Structure 1
Amino acid sequence: VCTVWANQRVYSDNITRILDRLLDGYDNRLRPGFGGPVTEIKTDIFVTSFGPVSDVEMEYTMDVFFRQTWVDKRLIFEGPIEILRLNNLMVNKIWTPDTFFRNAKKSFAHNMTTPNKMFRIMQNGTVLYTMKLTISAECPMQLINFPMDGHACPLKFGSYAYPTSDLIYTWKKGPSLSVEVPKESSSLLQYDLVGQRASSEILKFKTGITTVLTMTTLSISARSSLPKVSYATAMDWFIAVCFAFVVFALIEFAAVNYFATLHTNRERRKRAALEAAAGGSDEDLT
């Protein structure tokens, strides 16, 4: 037991000396290779959840693990291990990129129960810095074809203070992934005005009014779920055409009912006249 404890103590002391040696004279205000070649930051994102996507606000929200990798030759070391696995306490002691999201409306790093940050230093000076973020970013949308539209929502990030002559961001090569949001479907009741009987006065009235109210509700609901845009969307044209068909169907129904009533009254008068004429002939014969 004493031997194992002694070995662990020696191992821990060695790692402590490595960290102390790395931080001795280290200036975290200067980027790696300051005054020399451009520092390359390799990035990749692992999306843990995506959504919601807001058409009204034209934004989307997602939870991600944001990973950044770069080489800092000041952190090259030799020791019993190849990778120094450290927590967030080491982050503030060395240089890290001042990355920000250009099109983000709001974003925050997760801090429960401790800051969700991971730090790794390899023997060759390669640094891996991972953090968990929630990002709400803007997504400009053209809604002309709504609700049959499709959009590509970008996530733009870069350095806040360093120009591209000092710091560049590259994307790690890997499988191309995309997130698809299923399209919502909706259905409406069907109202058949053409198939109704011409004499169905009450049914005609109820069906016509119900159809108009349904289309009005649909129009208001569709508009309330969209941002105020200056152009007509496919949904607007669809509702307008539906209104036109409903109005034409009501006009047709009214015209058919009007002429059917005229025809019925005319036939009724003819029958009355024939009956009156037949009655007069019988009296003359008597």
Structure 2
Amino acid sequence: MAVTRDQVTELLDSLLVKYNKRFRPGHGETPLYIRAHILIRSMGPVTEIDMSYSMQLYYRQVWYDKRLAFNLGNITELQLNNKFLHKIWVPDTYFLNGKKSYQHDITVPNMFLRMRKDGRLYTSRRLTIRARCPMVLKRYPMDEATCHLNLGSFAYSTDDIFYIWAHGDESVEVTSVTMTQFEMMEIKVSNATLHRNHALYSILGVSFYFTRNLGFFILQTYLPCSLVVSLSWISFWINRDAAPARVLLGVTTILSVAAISMTVREGLPRVPYATALDIFLNVCLVYNLSALIEYAGVNYFTKTGPGDPPENEEDEKALLPLDKMNTHTLEHVDAQNMMESCVAAPQPPSQTLKSKKYGGSCLNAFWNCLTGNTTYRYAKNATMDKERGLSVSRIDRVARYFFPLSFATFNFFYWYLYLTPRRF
């Protein structure tokens, strides 16, 4: 015999006559077991700025309420809409680490109820969850994130309610989740007990393990910064007399790396430690600064500008105006010098001693450079070849090899350290 619609309506009304939704099923008896199941439809984004993540899911839970058991012909299960849920007791499940989560209500509340004749109740809700996800960004952007989702009863302790996963480790399903920056590697579920307000509460946990994709950062940060650093090395092949070109190139590369650094840091929280990306950007900035400082050293040790003072007193006398008293003396000295220049004579001992005195070690030269010893500078330039205008500085020759090799060595250790796989 077929069951009519009126019979179903009469059954539901009769079930609710003496039903009190303020008490849980089996009140005062053994704890009620609630079986949970989650189906994730979409995941993301995972944001570092506020340490959170979001996802859309179907949250399903099953429990028994003997007060709603029925016997109606050949009907074993009734599928009801959300309005019937407001008339019966439902678990007060909430997400412990949730932030601004909500249930979808368009076009109607996205939830339903299935009630079996033995009192088994099955509910499904479509939710968007936004939850906290504390992250340690020391390895950013080669880092791995572990985000947790914890759910349990808001008011009932373990004396009344126990939460368990409906299908064990397979209780959390994922359907074709795609994210821009992260890739989901693993999902783990857990059961725990939380001590709060002098009572124990049953908690279900889900852990999502993510690894970050590097493609965006390599194309937008690492590759441009490496090219800018390489661009700064062009100054080592530019003539030392082209000061505007070398200084402008150095300043431009420094500003370029600084602009990239500021753009990258806009999407990061102000953490009190350096990330892997910060280390790379700062090293790039140091290399650009070093290239500019290298030219300052070249200019200091190998060039004397037209406005620098003469090297000795004889040069000062040579610059004095001629008068009638010393004209004859100067002519006599010039004639004598011309005769001496025709004879091949060895280098004066004073010049040899001068070269040895101002040749010095690298440490001595560096100290005189820092202290701004002008006497040392003029004497150092006096010992050098006066026809060096088109020659290449020894400092530039060393820099052409030292800068690329040291930067390549840094990259080798940097990528080896941060790309080494580590366990979650």
TM-score (norm 1): 0.82
Equivalent of residue 135 in structure 1, options 123, 129, 139: 129
- SS of equivalent residue, structure 1 residue 188: helix
Tell me the equivalent position of 1:234: 276
Equivalent of residue 124 in structure 1, options 114, 118, 122: 118
Tell me the equivalent position of 2:165: 171
Q: Cα offset for 1:258?
A: 5.4
Equivalent of residue 41 in structure 1, options 34, 37, 42: 34
Partner amino acid, structure 2, of 1:152:
T
Tell me the equivalent position of 2:155: 161
Tell me the equivalent position of 1:219: 261
Tell me the equivalent position of 1:198: 238
Which runs of 4 or more aligned residues in structure 1 lie more than 3 Å from their structure 2 counterparts after TM superposition? 175-180, 200-203, 253-265
Answer whether contact 2:78 2:116 (CA < 8 A) is retained.
yes
Q: 2-side partners of 1:68 and 1:137: how far apart?
A: 20
Q: 2-side partners of 1:206 and 1:254: how far apart?
A: 13
Q: Work out which of the two has the higher radius of gyration on C-alpha atoms and give 1 or 2.
A: 2
Tell me the equivalent position of 2:196: none
CA distance 1:193–1:22, shift in 2 (3 Å): same
Tell me the equivalent position of 1:54: 47
CA distance 1:260–1:101, shift in 2 (3 Å): same
- SS of equivalent residue, structure 2 residue 108: coil
Answer whether contact 1:47 1:62 (CA < 8 A) is retained.
yes
Q: Cα offset for 1:166?
A: 0.8
- SS of equivalent residue, structure 1 residue 156: strand
Tell me the equivalent position of 1:71: 64
Q: Cα offset for 1:176?
A: 5.8
Q: 2-side partners of 1:130 and 1:42: how far apart?
A: 12
Q: 2-side partners of 1:254 and 1:243: how far apart?
A: 17
Give the paired residue count: 262
1:125-166 deviation digits (Å, cap 9, x = unpaired) = 111111111221111111111111111111111111111221
Q: 1-side partners of 2:130 and 2:55: how far apart?
A: 7
Q: 1-side partners of 2:78 and 2:275: how far apart?
A: 56
- SS of equivalent residue, structure 2 residue 43: strand
Equivalent of residue 224 in structure 2, options 188, 192, 196: 188
Q: 1-side partners of 2:88 and 2:269: how far apart?
A: 45
- SS of equivalent residue, structure 2 residue 86: helix
Partner amino acid, structure 2, of 1:267:
E
Q: 2-side partners of 1:151 and 1:177: how far apart?
A: 19
Answer whether contact 1:194 1:253 (CA < 8 A) is retained.
no
Answer whether contact 2:31 2:162 (CA < 8 A) is retained.
yes
Q: 1-side partners of 2:150 and 2:165: how far apart?
A: 12
Q: 2-side partners of 1:215 and 1:44: how far apart?
A: 49
Q: 2-side partners of 1:68 and 1:24: how far apart?
A: 25
Q: Cα offset for 1:21?
A: 2.9
Partner amino acid, structure 2, of 1:226:
L
Instruction: Determine whether 1:27 maps to 2:20.
Output: yes
Q: 1-side partners of 2:50 and 2:122: how far apart?
A: 35
Answer whether contact 2:250 2:292 (CA < 8 A) is retained.
yes
Equivalent of residue 76 in structure 2, options 53, 78, 82: 82
Q: Cα offset for 1:175?
A: 6.5
Q: 1-side partners of 2:165 and 2:129: how far apart?
A: 19
Alignment of 1:11-22 (within 5 A): 11-22=4-15
Answer whether contact 1:198 1:256 (CA < 8 A) is retained.
no
Unaligned runs of 5+ in 1: 1-6, 270-286
CA distance 1:172–1:206, shift in 2 (3 Å): farther
Q: CA RMSD in A?
A: 2.5
CA distance 1:114–1:175, shift in 2 (3 Å): closer
CA distance 1:268–1:87, shift in 2 (3 Å): closer
Answer whether contact 1:198 1:257 (CA < 8 A) is retained.
no
Partner amino acid, structure 2, of 1:130:
S
Partner amino acid, structure 2, of 1:222:
V
1:165-198 deviation digits (Å, cap 9, x = unpaired) = 2112112222665666252432415133334423
Q: 1-side partners of 2:47 and 2:266: how far apart?
A: 12
Instruction: Determine whether 1:93 maps to 2:87.
Output: yes
Equivalent of residue 266 in structure 1, options 386, 399, 410: 386
Q: Cα offset for 1:124?
A: 2.0
Tell me the equivalent position of 1:276: none
Tell me the equivalent position of 1:149: 143
Tell me the equivalent position of 1:107: 101
Q: 2-side partners of 1:67 and 1:176: how far apart?
A: 10
Q: 2-side partners of 1:37 and 1:210: how far apart?
A: 75
TM-score (norm 2): 0.57
